[in-house]
Amino acid sequence: MKIDVETFKTSPKVIGLNQTLKKIKKGDIRFVVLAEDCDEPIAEKVKEACESHRVRLIVAGSKNTMGKACGIDRPAAVIGFLDED
């Protein structure tokens, strides 16, 4: 799966740990992108949630890069991309 900057900017998504975990539990997430430099406790929570709900997890990029790709002016450690159905 290739994810480009346009996907980050235009796809429906939630940004941040709490919002992403809520949407995973509701079954609304298609896949999650986790920053490579994410803090370990956050990474573990996300990995566990993705595994238990069978959500694809992609680890890529830095928090700063992911925030910029989403068009926000702050780092983003976790981004959940929503189902578009």
Which pLDDT score is estimated for 85? 66
Which pLDDT score is estimated for 8? 73
Q: 66-79 pLDDT, tens per residue?
A: 999 888 999 999 99
Which pLDDT score is estimated for 1? 55
Mean pLDDT split into 10-residue runs, the chain, 85 residues? 69 94 96 96 97 96 91 94 84
Question: Where do the domains of the chain lie, and which CATH numbers do they carry?
Answer: 5-82 (3.30.1330.30)
> Which residue, 2, 1, 9, is CA-closest to 79?
9
| Residue with the two structure tokens 């959940």 | 80
Which pLDDT score is estimated for 9? 77
Phi, psi dihedrals of residue 5, rounded to the nearest 5°: -60, -35
Write the DSSP symbol of residue 74: S
Residue type, 33: V
